Amino acid sequence: MAVKNISESKSQWLYLFISILTAPCLSFEPVLNCSEPSNLALLEALTPVMKLSSIRPVIRQSTPTNVSIWFTLYGILGVDEKAQVLTTYIWLNFVSTNIFSLYTMWENLFFSWDPVKCGTNKIALPRKMFWVPDIVINEFMNENSAPPVPYIYLFNTGKVRDAQPVRVVSSCSLNIYTFPFDIQNCSLTFSSYIHHVADIKVRLQVPVEEIIHRSLEVMTTMGEWELLDIKAQKGLLLAFNHSQDPIDVLAFYIVVRRRATLYVVNLLIPSSFLITVDLFSFLLPPQSVDRSSFKMTLILGYTVFLLIMNDLLPVTGNTIPLINVFFSICLALMVASLLETVIITNLLCSGKKSPVPRWVQVVVLNIMGWLVCLPQKPSTEDMLMSHPAMRASLENLSNTQVKAPGEMGSVQEQLTLDELRRLGGDLQAIRLQVDQHLKGDHGSDEWIQVGYVVDRLLFGLYIAFICVSFITIICIWVTSYKK
């Protein structure tokens, strides 16, 4: 009898040892027994499982829970450049007014049932009765204001499907340098908040192409933004407590593009009209007072236009949009043209007598005058000296004065010579008086020439700025729509 007890004891220890060795290879899936094929019988069989909602539904803690995620982008509510947030909405199996539909699925190893014996292969039960993974969006910036969904689906295989609408207000690093032709790339990172990768693994349920196709089919709310692309990327995130076990993450990158037509019509085209009108104001006479009044009226109108359109411009401290630089340069050119008109009017009306400095003659009259195809005008003295009659009389006088008195053949010639000398003296006196009169206006003529050169130079800068601005805007617009 003792030998038999010892043999049985050894058999039990051997069975226990073999069970321990083979335990990791066994899969334990409790099968629920339903008394009849009805929902009440299935609910009664699931009651013991509901008591285990406080723990992760695995038999061994070393078994990870795989959570599959995918969503449909139902609409884009807007982008707040000042707060640097993107407002979207996630939605799944049903169409609602929400923007983003979130779909998750995982496996509960605490139950499975025979769909024939229990009468169904799935059942919807309250979410609070079962364990739900703590999947969050790391960029979340506000409370979810979407209507809650209190139920989840349980399948006979042990899979659990959770679908809920989520209004996502997520942080996003916005680059508005090319506003209103900007393209934004915002991320939505799904991960567990406290569970490491050994406990919860997240994965993409469907291909990204299907998500994009489905989103473009059902999307009804985009406003000034349109969806370009959605990308997905798997990765690991270091835990908040800096432990060695990272957290598994699944990141989605939503690429959206701003619709620029509204801003082109309301901002760029009116600004271009005003700057073009200011350009054609150079055709007015510079000495006219109406030209200054016209330019001041344009500057006042442009300032009022910027104040009215200020609400359409983005406000952020990261970068200055290129369109703001364009408006500032337009206003600066209009103010510069007004100042230049005031200076030219002063030069033309005051009759300035002081000579032009040498460096102004070199820089403005010679270099800038050559650039704007407005060469320096010759002085009046040079024009008189170049006249054929004046030049012939001076040459005759010079030739006559060269002859000596002894060379004259008669008294008549001597009298003629004396008369010519007297006339030469009179001509020299007249020339001195003319030179003194003309030199008084020579300085004012050079200042007037300086004014004309500066006026034409600013006119050329206006034309170059408008051409470069239009070409740049068109290129940026075309490039943004090719992406």
Whether residue 54 has pLDDT greater than 70: yes
CATH of the domain at 169: 2.70.170.10
Q: How far is CA 48 from the centre of its chain?
A: 57
- The rounded distance, in Å, linking the Cα atoms of 155 and 158 is 6
| 416, part of any domain | no
Beta carbons of 117 and 45 less than 8 angstroms apart: no
Q: What DSSP line would sit under 336-381, residue for residue?
A: HHHHHHHHHHHHHHHT--SPPPHHHIIIIIIIIHHHTT-PPPPPHH
Does one domain contain both 451 and 305? Answer: yes
Q: Are residues 285 and 291 in contact, defined by beta-carbon separation less than 8 angstroms?
A: yes
Q: Which of 242, 259, 276 is the last residue of a domain?
A: 259
Residue type, 396: N
245 and 393 share a domain? no
Residue 409 maps to a domain? no
253 and 287 housed in the same domain: no
CA distance linking residue 167 with residue 142, whole number of Å: 9
3 within a domain of the structure (yes/no): no
Co-location of 323 and 244 in the same domain: no
Same domain, residue pair 331 and 226: no
H helix count then E strand count, the chain:
13, 11
> 103 vs 12, 83, 88, 419, CA distance in Å?
48, 28, 15, 119
Nearest to 152 by CA among 163, 141, 139: 163
pLDDT band at 434 (very low <50, low <70, confident <90, very high): low
Residue 58 belongs to a domain: yes
* Within-domain flag for 306: yes
Same domain as 172, residue 56: yes
458 shares a domain with 330? yes
What's the CA gap between 58 and 110, in Å, rounded?
7
Residue 216: HSE in the Cβ half-sphere, 13 Å Cα cutoff: 13
Tens digits of residue pLDDT in 160-219: 888 888 888 999 988 888 888 889 999 999 988 888 888 888 888 888 998 899 888 888
Based on the structure, what is the number of domains in the chain?
2
Domain assignment present for 11: no
Do 281 and 176 reside in the same domain of the chain? no
70 and 206 assigned to the same domain: yes
Encoded tokens for 455: 């006026």
For 60, residues 6+ apart whose C-beta sits below 8 A from its C-beta are none
Are both 127 and 221 inside the same structural domain? yes
Specify whether 203 is located in the same domain as 295: no
Give me 362's structure tokens: 């070199």
Q: Whole domain around residue 468: which residue ranges? A: 266-401+426-482
Of 259, 294, 320, the domain-final residue: 259
**Worst-scoring range by mean pLDDT, 47-56, 177-186, 308-317?**
308-317
pLDDT in tens, 252-300: 999 999 988 889 888 989 998 998 898 888 888 776 667 888 889 999 9
Q: Are residues 211 and 293 in the same domain?
A: no
The torsion region of residue 233 among left (phi > 0), alpha (psi -120 to 50) and beta comes to beta
Residue 373 neighbours by CB under 8 Å, 6+ apart: none
